């Protein structure tokens, strides 16, 4: 699953639904944990990482017994200080 969402808390329900659909066949406890973790990470990305209208990108890959997930915000890189 690859999902790009506007940086709005109102879109978190869409993220949870898409993640659940992606995790069909995964043990319910593991699916619950991942949905919660992605919701928290996406919330933090929306509240603290995203600037302007830059999207939040979420990727989930399920391969046999391995689940890989990431949340990416598009926060501007900090300016180096001297």
Say what the pTM is: 0.84
Q: Share the mean pLDDT of the chain.
A: 91
Residue tagged 């600037």 (tokens)? 51
What DSSP element (H or E) covers 67?
A: strand 66-72
pLDDT at 75: 73
pLDDT at 76: 63
Q: Are 58 and 15 in contact (CB under 8 A)?
A: yes
Q: pLDDT confidence of 48, banded at 50, 70, 90?
A: confident
Per-residue pLDDT tens over the stretch 18-45: 999 999 999 999 999 999 999 999 999 9
């Amino acid at each position: 699953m690859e999902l790009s969402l506007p940086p709005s808390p109102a879109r978190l329900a869409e993220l949870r639904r898409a993640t659940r659909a992606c995790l069909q066949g995964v043990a319910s406890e593991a699916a619950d944990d991942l949905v919660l973790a992605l919701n928290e990470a996406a919330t933090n990305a929306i509240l603290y990482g995203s600037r302007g209208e830059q999207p939040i990108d979420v990727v989930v890959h399920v391969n046999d017994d391995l689940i890989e997930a990431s949340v990416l915000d598009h926060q501007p890189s900090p300016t180096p200080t001297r």
